[in-house]
Amino acid sequence: MTIEITGFDWVPDFAKGFVRDLRPRWACEELGLPYRMRLLSATSPRPADYFDEQPWGQVPVVRDGDIELFESGAILLHLGERDERLLPRDPQGRATAISWLFAAYNSVEPMMFELGNISIFAADQEWAKLRRPSLLDFAGGRLDKLSDAIEGREWLAGSFSVADIAMATVLRLAQDTDLVSSRPVLADYLARALARPAFQRALAAQLADFKPEPQAA
């Protein structure tokens, strides 16, 4: 059965390759699960009934047979439940993978979003310039602890799992800073994840789906 993933047909250049439908695409590529894309216009109002699927009109939404769900973390957990290659079946391995999946989205990603906000959307505002140094310091402290936890491991939960898809896609958000590149353990971990053929296929597929920039009317 083919999984349906909702994404966008166009985003600004800074967002290309970073839209969250990349995460379920990557998981499907790892498992060899067939999927198709339902592409929404990012520049037009969402269809009214789409808010019944995703209350904020965001992507991704996934349909897997009779199951429909939103939020990339929930989607990764669902896909991991289908195959032990992305979610260990032993109780402690499963618990460790789920813990790191939540950690990626709750303990690391919020800082990356705030950094993106002050660097892209509010770059010229004085409050953002004042906020940046303390945010980088705080984020650096969090990433130091993450580096300590990863050191000596290839992957977060022993074998590659949904936790690594989550964490790697979060760490990519720091690409315009030295937050990851200045920490060799994290830089090596991220490089291992992004070198996986499944990630490369998922990224290429997302980029290929984006249309040229819409022309102003």
For 69-87, write each residue's pLDDT tens digit. Answer: 999 999 999 999 999 999 9
Give the integer Cα–Cα distance in Å for 175 and 216.
Answer: 30
Q: What is the CATH number of domain 91-196?
A: 1.20.1050.10
pTM for this one? Answer: 0.95
What is the pLDDT, as a whole number, of residue 43? 86
Residue 103, SS3 per DSSP = helix
What is the pLDDT, as a whole number, of residue 123? 82
Contacts of 63 (CB under 8 A, 6+ apart): 3, 4
What is the pLDDT, as a whole number, of residue 215? 60
The arrangement of secondary structure in 3-85+199-209, i.e. its CATH architecture, is: 3-Layer(aba) Sandwich (3.40)
Give the integer Cα–Cα distance in Å for 26 and 34.
Answer: 12
Strands 61-64 and 67-70: antiparallel
Q: Confirm if 70 and 24 have CB atoms less than 8 A apart.
A: no
> So where are the chain's domains?
3-85+199-209, 91-196
pLDDT < 70 positions in the chain? 214-217
What is the pLDDT, as a whole number, of residue 176? 87
What is the pLDDT, as a whole number, of residue 216? 55
